[in-house]
Amino acid sequence: MTFRRAKPTSKLKNKYFSLRSRIGISAIFLLLLVFSVHILWRVPTQELRESVMLSVERGDIEKIVMVTGILKPSIQVNVGAQVNGQIKKLYVKQGEKVNKGDLLAEIDPTIQESDLKNATAQLLSAQAQKRAAEATLIQYIKAYKRQVIMQRDGSGIRSEYEQAQAQYEAQLQQVNVNDAMIVQSEMAVQTATANLNFTRIVAPISGEVLGIIANEGQTIVSSQTAPTILVLANLDKMQVQTRISETDIQKISPGQPLTFHVIANPEKQYESMMGYVQPIPPEVLDERNNSAGGEQKGAVYYNGTFEVDNTNRELKTSMTARVFIRVAEVKAALRLPISALGRSVGTNQYEITVIENGKTEVRIVKIGLNDRHFVEVIDGVKEGEQVIIQQDSTAS
């Protein structure tokens, strides 16, 4: 007996395909669910791993004010002539070192020597006139005394007595005039002697000849101001004159440590301390500006000066210096980079993101000194905790 396999009917086919579709859809949904859970679990960990993290550490924080300055010799003197005449001799050359009192130049002393001789002659003449006047006075005193005795005895003539008295008193005044003439002549001799000494120009300080302005044979005419012959300066120390803006002046005070470099050699750093800080802008001291009623135009700057050793002669006059003044400092401070700060939530208070047990946590920290690279953390985190660097920091 032969049996044939019965063919499924169309109704059975539909049931078969419907069950198969449901199983497939369920499998796809399950795969999507597993994948989604994996992604959701993985993303925070991956983002945390890809974030820039750092540990809260200790370090020094310095607040710096940067100003510009010009280098000048600590002492600079324009050596001039106080008398008229022709430059007879220059005894120094440019760049030569001299000591205080060394002879630098000489003015032809012919005129001054003549003036001294003339003044001396006038003094001698005044002294001789006084001696002659004193001799005459002695004669008049004797004649007057005789007339006084004769008047007392009643044998004298009244007119002769009065004449003797007048001659005596007049001659006494003449002697006083001669005394005044002698004083005048002595002063003239002193002046002439000083002028003769002024023809020998000596170094007022020890230093170096920066430049020679006049030449041998040149005629010097001294009027209200002494014409400059040469410039002398002490270059062992240089003075840096800085211009401090109005916005920074209250932060600057004498004694603050500083460093600077010159534009010619930015790699070489020099150290010093701020010296005198002028409490008034130099423009206010200018009488020409005072005539405008004291009105300020443009930015206001104050002068601050300090000195630096220059025994090696590296620093030159009129060099431009970039000066960095340390106005505040905290040693071994708990600090964070500014890039770790998030949104500002109050005065000196910012949000930061801290990693705690593999998870992120937003905290609020209170900051102190800010040097534009790091901030001092006063409260909110501990040393060694991990924080995340923000893409855009709001602190400045």
Q: Give the end of a domain, one of 327, 347, 371.
A: 327
- The answer to whether residue 25 sits within a structural domain is no
Q: Which two tokens stand for residue 392?
A: 């855009």
Q: What DSSP letter does each residue of 305-352 carry, written as one string?
A: EEEEE-TT--S-TT-EEEEEEEEEEEEEEEEEEGGG---EEETTEEEE
Expressed as residue numbers, the domain containing 382 is: 53-61+331-388
Helices 158-198 and 110-153, packing angle to 10 deg:
160
pTM of the model: 0.66
Q: What is the pLDDT of residue 220?
A: 87
Closest Cα to residue 216, out of 110, 87, 96, 41? 87
- The answer to whether residue 223 sits within a structural domain is no
The segments of the chain whose pLDDT lies below 70 read 1-51, 224, 287-297, 390-396
Instruction: Give dist(CA 46, CA 316) in Å, integer.
Output: 59
- Residue 382 sits in the same domain as residue 309: no
* Tens of pLDDT, residues 321-364: 999 999 999 999 999 998 889 889 999 999 989 988 888 899 99
Spatial CB neighbours of 141, under 8 Å, sequence gap ≥ 6: 168
- Residue 315 sits in the same domain as residue 346: no
CATH number of the domain residue 379 falls in: 2.40.420.20
Token pair 């005072």 in the structure block, residue: 290
- The answer to whether residue 20 sits within a structural domain is no
CATH number of the domain residue 278 falls in: 2.40.30.170
- Residue 235 sits in the same domain as residue 313: yes
Q: What is the pLDDT of residue 30?
A: 64
- The answer to whether residue 173 sits within a structural domain is yes
Q: Give the end of a domain, one of 327, 362, 377.
A: 327
Instruction: Give dist(CA 322, CA 306) in Å, integer.
Output: 13
- Strand segments, DSSP code E, in the chain are 53-55, 57-80, 85-90, 97-98, 103-107, 200-202, 207-212, 219-220, 228-245, 257-262, 265-273, 301-309, 320-337, 344-346, 349-356, 359-370, 374-379, 386-388
Q: Give the end of a domain, one of 282, 309, 327.
A: 327
Q: What is the pLDDT of residue 365?
A: 92
Residue 34's alpha-carbon distances to 29, 40, 217, 356, 376, in angstroms, are: 9, 10, 106, 28, 46
Number of domains in the chain: 3
Residue 325 · residue 69 · CB < 8 Å: no
Q: Which two tokens stand for residue 18?
A: 């419907």
- Residue 191 sits in the same domain as residue 124: yes
- Residue 323 sits in the same domain as residue 335: no
- The answer to whether residue 186 sits within a structural domain is yes
Q: What is the pLDDT of residue 93?
A: 95
Tell me the HSE value of 368 on the side-chain side, using a 13 A CA sphere.
Answer: 16
- The answer to whether residue 171 sits within a structural domain is yes
Residue 119 · residue 182 · CB < 8 Å: no
- Residue 342 sits in the same domain as residue 314: no
* Tens of pLDDT, residues 57-91: 999 999 999 999 999 999 999 999 989 999 999 99
- The answer to whether residue 286 sits within a structural domain is yes
- Residue 322 sits in the same domain as residue 244: yes
Residue 127 · residue 182 · CB < 8 Å: yes
Residue 56 · residue 381 · CB < 8 Å: yes
Q: What is the pLDDT of residue 309?
A: 95
Closest Cα to residue 198, out of 78, 76, 77, 84? 84
- The answer to whether residue 382 sits within a structural domain is yes
Q: What is the pLDDT of residue 174?
A: 93
